[in-house]
Structure 1
Amino acid sequence: MIHYISGGQRSGKTDYAIQQALLLSERPVYLATSRIWDEDHNARITLHKKNRDARWENIEEEKEISKLLLANKTVVLDCVTLWLTNFFVDNNYDADLALAAAKKEFDAFIQQDFNLIIISNEIGMGVHASTEGGRKFADLQGWMNQYIAQQADKATLIVSGLPLTLK
């Protein structure tokens, strides 16, 4: 089962995903994909870690999520935006190369038999990016979100902490 959850920054996506995972498993996996970019980002990561109790298995993997053996588990992947950032940066800000690499990795990852709850951001719903790199990344994010949503069994948009069922 793939449950895709998207929404804006601070919309309540992670809290909702955690609730959904705990309904499916007493021992879910939290798969964090972020690199630590600066002190503010490190503080956010630390806060996320503190919000998860001992029921959670925590795994950190920046890009190669398909190498993880997670069969028969419930996994929260947090998040597509940070995971895509790693592909974008590592491919010299080439959105086409980043998208191809991310799709290939995602396709390999979802071959496992598991419950997967995927968190992503709808960054294209905000202010139009003022830089070329920002616009390229917003396009990349939108394309990958569409790709994941098409393969998901369930899709939920979170707005102001409220889940809206899309699929």
Structure 2
Amino acid sequence: MSWYCDVAPGHPYHGPYHDREYGFPLSDDAALFERLCLEIFQAGLSWLIVLKKRESLRAAFDGFRPDVVARYGEAEVARLLADAGIIRNRRKILAVIENAGRLLALSAQYGSFAAWLAAQPAQSKEAWVKLFKKTFTFTGGEVVNEFLMSIGLLPGAHRPDCPVQLRLDTLARERAAK
């Protein structure tokens, strides 16, 4: 098995993401939505491409604010498809817009996307994938698994001996003690 921990150290894109974001819990809906969208954009591509285009994607999608993205229409889709700084896949762009609306519906019911995630009982990877496929679009197994690992809901983001995993373990113990 290859680990992201083995690729990331010292890399200008992978390193900062691995060391400061991958596997760390998130509770902000825009940050959660961004992470889900990045995983959707990554499908069939390398994570490095996504990381290199991340700032352009963030700018093009209004900071991944679900309330803004959900209102996108054909003019915004055309703008996005013409933007050479992002991943210009029509199906992925439409999925991001559709998922923004679905996330807003969940937020209306649960208070936030984070609250919806927290309300789900502990479940297997397969159950998570089934739930996401029912709830969102363009969320296959790899997208869902990587999204959930990236936000700390599924284990496996780091090797057990990775310094970042050791830091995450300490954070988890501190949260549990509160």
| Same fold (TM > 0.5) | no
TM-score (norm 2): 0.26
Answer 1 or 2: higher relative contact order, Cα 8 Å, separation at least 6.
1
Between Structure 1 and Structure 2, the one with more helix by share is 2
Between Structure 1 and Structure 2, the one with more strand by share is 1
| Bigger radius of gyration among the two | 2
TM-score (norm 1): 0.27
